[in-house]
Homo-oligomer: A and B are copies of this chain.
Amino acid sequence: MSELRKDPTTRRWAIIATDRWKRPGDLRGGAGKKVKRACPFDPGSEEIKKAAVYLHWEHPEKWFVSVLPNKFPALSYEGLPKMKVKGMYTTIDAVGGHELFVDTPRHRASVATMSLGELEAVLNAYRERYKFWMQDDRVKYVLIFKNQGKGSGASLVHPHTQLAATPVVPPRVLEELEKGERYFKVNHECIYCDMIKDEINGKQRLVRESRYFIAMCPFASRFPFELMILPKRHSSNFIDMDFDELKDLAQVISWLFKRVKEVLSNPPFNSLIHVGPQYAPNLRFFHWHIEIIPRLTEVAGFEWGAGVYINPTPPEAAAQILKSG
């Protein structure tokens, strides 16, 4: 089992592999050794047939969404997240879950080329798995994320999403919760709701406004063409969405990724969903959202050392370019 370790000198946690860990030859230096093999997510794959499938939806038009356990999970399904403290060092057994969504049977597809039906089915599958994990008391947080393209950290080309269920609320989410709560105490309003109003009025960083959602380039974007999608209606959890909203979200996502692909020549990207913690189904001061990071610049010494990102493209310019398609 892996373990979560807390750095005593910072706010940071790491998940450390303690069995089946990687030696120098298995790390990037050994990438040349890679063996070509059949895609495990293609239709008819032996790996999918053998996997303990959590969810499988098949559409009459021949596409499907499948949710499987990750073959190399960072978090273990079995056990209890025991905390051990030894002097200044705190460890928690990395108990929770690590799942994989096969978003579509089409190996060469991407978010930009998936049909609206496919996207809706994937969003629905996210909802199902969020709901499933709400029943597990060991889990404090569920993070859904996606890596696509070379340089994004994705190890497979086939479109897929991941879900990590963790026994602690991750620090990035804690920061947002703390900031949101502080703002609410002073202003009696959700900071995201205020931001959405501001951005709709100002229009400078607004990329798309639909009936239920907005897509924008955040004011302090860390990366060029960084994007955020937020529901206009206040809600701290993804599972609150009704079917009309979900259909609308699929349209916004489809439009946005088509634009990103076109404008930025199909860049690698990471995306993720921030929702409230498992134990807080309805928070007044937190607002769920999707973050999208096209990988166009490298994180380097300055970013690691400062935690400040140098962004060569103002979000106002990025929004303008994405909008004027």
Contacts and interface: CB of A to CB of B under 8 A. Distances in A.
B309 A15 contact: yes
A143 B306 contact: yes
Interface stretch (A37-45, A107-115, A126-134, A188-196): A188-196
15 contacts: A8-B220, A9-B179, A11-B175, A13-B307, A15-B308, A16-B315, A17-B314, A23-B321, A24-B225, A26-B312, A29-B267, A147-B300, A153-B299, A172-B307, A271-B301
Given A8-B219, A27-B297, A21 B317 contact: yes
B291 A143 contact: no
B270 A301 contact: yes
The DSSP consensus for interface residues of chain A is: mixed
Task: Give how many copies assemble into the complex.
Answer: 2
Contacts of A79: none
A17 B318 CA distance: 12
Interface string A264-287: 110100111110000000000000
Tell which of A10, A151, A171, A302 has the most Cβ of chain B within 10 Å.
A302
A200 interface: no
